[in-house]
Chain A
Amino acid sequence: MALSDYARDMAGCSRNSYCKFVPWNKAKSWRFSNLCPSITRFNFHAYSGGGRLNMGLSLVQGRSELTDGVAEIIYRCQLCGACDMACKVFKDDFDITDILLEMRTHCVEQGQFNPEHMFMLDNLKKEGNVLGEPKAERGDWAEGLGLKDINTEKADVLFHAGCRYAYDKDLWGVVRGAVRLMQAAGADVGTAGNAEACCGGRIYELGFRGEAMNYADDMLSRIDASGASTLVTCCSDGYAHLRYLYPRMGKTPPVEVLHITEFLSRKIAEGRLRMRNEVPMVVTYHDPCHLGRMSESYRGEWEGDKLDRPMAMKRTGKQGCYEPPREILGSIPGLRLVEMERIREYAWCCGAGGGVLEAYPDFSSWTAMERLEEAQSTGAEALVTACPWCERSFKDALSTNGTRLELYDLTELVLQAAGIQGEGGDSDAA
C-alpha cells in the first residue's frame, strides 16, 4: 500500500476531535481527560490523530508538500494507538494507526529521514538491535539461568527477551526473574542467546518496512528452529508486533504468542505458581500501549467501504491484554490496586513509543511525567508496569524530576509474592 491508497480513509475523518480525549463515558476529571500526548503537548490540530489524517490527505492531494516540518509532526507521535481507539468508539470506516504507520513509510520513501531513527536503523543493521549494543553480548542477560539454547536443542517455550531487556542492565532483574518464574512453574524454556535479534517492529514503526520484513523472517526461522509451541516475551512492543504487524506482513508466527503476564496469570490460576508471601503495598498499574490496545490481533484486510466491514474485523483496542496483569495483582496477598483515571484501552502512553524516546527525549519525558502525576494522584506508593520501554521511560523521568514513586515491573512483584528472591534464589513457588 502507498499513502495515496489511504486517501479515501483519510477523507473519512469528520473532524469531531473525539481522538483527543478519553471516551466521554470515562472522563473523571479535567486534569486527566486528555488522551493523545502529541496534541496535548504541541497543540496544533495537525498533531492529533484526526489532524494527521487531514494533513496526510492534503499531501496526497498535492495541496501541500512533505517538508522537514511536516515530517517532524509525523514523527512527534508515539504511535500509541489511543486516537484510533477513541475514534472507533463511533467510527468504523478507517484505522488511524495503519494510516500513521503508512505516513512514516511515506516519509522514508520520500527521503525524509529522522537522523536519530537512521541511527537506530544503522545499529540494527550492524548489531541486530536498535540500541547499538554488541551482538555478541545479546545473550549475556541469561547467564546462569540454565536456559536451553534453541540453536542446538528443542524447547516447548521459546523466550524472546527483546532488545531493551537484553541490554538494559537496570532491567535484567525483570527478565531473569521472568525466566525463573517460568521455570518454577515447570516450563521447558529455551532462548536463542546471541542469535536472538530485534523483532523488527520498532523499525517498522519508523517507516523502514523492508528491513522489518527481514527481521520478521529471522524471527520465524528461530521459532522454527526451537520446535516450540509457545513464544513468551516480557517485551510488550515485541508482543504487539508479533500479534499484529507480523500477520499483517504475511508472517504469522506458527506458535501461540504470550506476554509474560498472560503466561504467569495462567500458571497462577492453574496452581503452578503460588502467591504465598504478602506484598503489603498500594500500587497503581500502567497499561502499556503495546500490551493493551496495540496488541489486538490482526483481523485481515477489508476490501471496499470499511463501513460495511464486519465488526469482527475491526480492531477497537478492547481486546488488548488488560485482565492478566490485573488478575496477577489481584492474586498477590496484601497488595491493593488503585486504578488511575486513564486505564485499559484508554490509557495514557508512557512516552517512549514510535521512536519518540530516541528522537524527541524531551517530549518522551514530558509524556512520562504526565503519567507519573496521574499515578501519584491515586495515592499509590508504587507504579507497576509490564513493558521495558515504559519502565525505562518512567525511570528516566523520575530521575530528572525527583518525584517520589516506587516503580516496579509486575514480574518483580510476582517474584516477591512467590518467594523467589533475587538471583539464584530457590523457588518455593510450586
Chain B
Amino acid sequence: MDALRTVTRDIDTNSTKISARGVQVHYGDTHAIKDVDVDIKERSVTAFIGPSGCGKSTFLRCINRMNDTIDICRVTGDIRIDGDDIYDRSIDPVQLRARVGMVFQKPNPFPKSIYDNVAYGPKIHGLARSRAEMDEIVERSLRRGAIWDEVKDRLHAPGTGLSGGQQQRLCIARAVATDPEVLLMDEPCSALDPIATAQIEELIDTLREKYTVVIVTHSMQQAARVSQKTAFFHLGNLVEYGDTDDIFTNPKDRRTESYISGRIG
C-alpha cells in the first residue's frame, strides 16, 4: 500500500519553528513534564512517542496553551514560536490558537453542517470578507484535508453523520482552515481503522509541505512512517530527541531502546 511506504526524508535544512527551554508542567502536585528542552523544525513532522502517562499530550497542549483551560495546571519555562514567547503577557491565547491548530484524539466535529464546521474558524477570526471567499476557503481546506471528493455533494449535511475516518479528516480540514503555521495532532488515528489511518498518514505527509506538524502517536510504525524527527518521553522527561531514522535504528538511551523494542510501554 502506498501510504505504508517509508517516507523519503528531506535533509534537515529547515530552521527551528518551536523552541522549548526548561519547560515544567505541574497538575497540582503531579509533576507531569520535567525540564524539557526541544527544538522543532519548520515544515517537518515531529513525532512524540512514549509510554502512556509520560506527558506527551501535556507537552503538546503547552504549545497552543490548551493547558490554560485546566485550572490546576501550571506551566513554567520558555516556549517560543518563531522567537516569540507564547507565554508572554502580550500574547493572547486565542490569537495563538489561530496560529497553532490542533487535532484531537477522538474526532470531534461540531454538530453542525460540514460546511459550517470548516467555516467556523475563519468566521470567528474574520478571515473571509465575502460568501464567495468563504466558499473558497472551505473548499481549499476540505481538499487539503483529503476529504473534498467525498463530501462535496453534501456540504450541508451534518458533520457528525460522517464515518470516523471522514470525521477525523474533517477535523483536520477544520484545523487547517484558519491557515495555522503549526498543526498539533494528539493521536489522530487511535480511533480509526487501518485504511482510514493510512489515508490520514498520507495526508500528514502532504501537510508538511506547508505546516509544521507535531504528532503524538502510540504506534512506532506510524512514527517511523510519517515523521522526520522523533522525541521519546518517559515519566515526564524528554529522554531522546533526534532524526527518526536514528532513534529507531540506533537509539542512544537504554530506555528508548527498550521502548521501541517493546519492553516498556
Partners in one complex: no
Give the B-binding residues of A (Cβ under 8 A): none
Give the A-binding residues of B (Cβ under 8 A): none
